[in-house]
Amino acid sequence: MAHTEGPWWACPPDADSGNWEVEDGYGHTATVYGDDDPAAANARLIAAAPDLLAALKRLVDYCDNHSDYDSIGAACAAIAKAEGSDE
């Protein structure tokens, strides 16, 4: 895993930056420019990324022996994209 482990947090804009920040246990991870509703939603989505990736991996492991192979393929493609192995 090349990214910092979760959890990550979406931090509302402060008076200095006016932008949403995503932070991990070590500090700054990402900046989402803006203080509007879409910026807040994007920051929350980015902050949820490690949890979403872990949940998706658990789901693929669980469902791997079931017949919904299209869903498994889509989930594996999303995991590969998140981990950068789809390039």
Asked if residue 48 belongs to a domain, the reply is yes
Residue 57 lies in a domain: yes
**Cβ atoms within 10 Å, residue 65:** 7
- Asked whether residue 2 is domain-assigned, the answer is no
Q: In terms of residue numbers, what domain contains 74?
A: 9-83
Give me the phi and psi of 27, to 5 degrees please: 130, -140
Asked if residue 25 is part of any domain, the answer here is yes
Global pTM exceeds 0.85: no
Averaged pLDDT of the chain:
85
- The number of domains in the chain is 1
| Of 49 and 76, more confident | 49
Amino acid in position 74: A
Q: Is residue 68 part of a domain?
A: yes
Q: pLDDT tens digits for 37-59? A: 999 999 999 999 999 888 888 88
